[in-house]
């Protein structure tokens, strides 16, 4: 198995890295010594984060990426290769949803959520996977969800379905790429302590906490630390796995 030289900084692409959980992931990876490429469809927040991490623009940069367009993934990869020669890690984090009852979701919106969430993971794994395979090394980390494991509909049936698809795609690419020194893993967070989650739960927060065995919401920083580990050379024997971060709501 080919492993990058210790003195070579590794480059990681994070989709949806300018907001929500993505920001925590970007911070953790940068702190761990990775060069981070913060991608988003709106680069304003991404540029602010990159400047905060590295004003020189060497270890934290941005790239415009519409995850519904495979050609955008290829464009980002081409720019990275032209500047630094290679990319070592892809973190598929970008996602969307809207809280709707299952009978209120129209087919067009269902398909749009599936394209953004699961379709982007397929495109990213396929395009970056080819590059990693050619190099003989790579790490792919996909952000799934508890909803994709237990069929939860609190965030929408379309969201849950897309996250379930991500778990399957993770296993498929893990098998396809393993012989070439590339691993592919997923992380499935439960409810995290973020402003969005607290807003969605509202007055039902106490009830939600009562259903979590550890009695508290999850830490976004913990998820980010797991991403950092799975992105590292040390995670070479972890492949096709789903790491549960749900406080014991769902046990396997």
pLDDT tens readout for residues 55-105: 999 999 999 999 999 999 999 999 999 999 999 999 999 999 888 899 999
What are the sequence ranges of the domains in the chain?
11-245
Rounded Cα distance, 190 and 188, in Å: 7
Tens of pLDDT, residue by residue over 92-119, are 999 998 888 999 999 999 999 999 999 9
Architecture of the domain spanning 11-245: 3-Layer(aba) Sandwich (3.40)
Tokens of residue 30, six digits: 């940068």
Percent residues over pLDDT 90 in the chain = 85
Gyration radius (Cα) of the chain, Å: 17
Tell me if 30 sits within 8 A of 59, measured CB to CB. yes
* pLDDT at residue 6 is higher than 80: no
Tell me if 91 sits within 8 A of 227, measured CB to CB. yes
| Catalytic center residues | 159
Tell me if 185 sits within 8 A of 239, measured CB to CB. yes
CA angle 200, 204, 205 (to 5 degrees): 80
Residue 1's pLDDT band (boundaries 50, 70, 90)? very low
């Amino acid at each position: 198995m080919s492993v990058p030289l210790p003195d070579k900084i590794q480059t990681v692409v994070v989709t949806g890295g300018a907001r929500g959980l993505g920001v925590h992931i970007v911070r953790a990876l940068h702190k761990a010594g990775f060069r981070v490429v913060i991608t988003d469809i709106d680069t304003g927040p991404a540029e602010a984060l990159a400047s905060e991490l590295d004003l020189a623009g060497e270890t934290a940069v941005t790239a415009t990426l519409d995850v519904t367009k495979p050609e955008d993934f290829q464009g980002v990869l081409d720019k990275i290769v032209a500047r630094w020669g290679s990319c070592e890690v892809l973190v598929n984090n970008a996602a969307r949803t809207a809280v709707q009852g299952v009978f209120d979701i129209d087919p067009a919106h269902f398909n749009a959520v599936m394209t953004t969430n699961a379709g982007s993971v397929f495109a990213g794994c396929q395009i970056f996977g080819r590059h990693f395979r050619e190099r003989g090394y790579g790490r792919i980390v996909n952000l799934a969800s508890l909803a994709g494991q237990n069929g939860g509909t609190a965030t929408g049936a379309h969201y849950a379905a897309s996250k379930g698809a991500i778990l399957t795609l993770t296993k498929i690419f893990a098998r396809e790429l393993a012989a070439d020194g590339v691993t592919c893993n997923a992380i499935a967070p439960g409810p995290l302590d973020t402003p969005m989650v607290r807003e969605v739960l509202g007055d039902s927060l106490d009830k939600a906490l009562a259903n979590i065995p550890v009695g508290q919401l999850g830490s976004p920083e913990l998820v980010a630390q797991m991403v950092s580990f799975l992105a590292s050379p040390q995670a070479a024997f972890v492949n096709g796995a789903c790491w549960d971060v749900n406080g014991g709501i769902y046990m396997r």
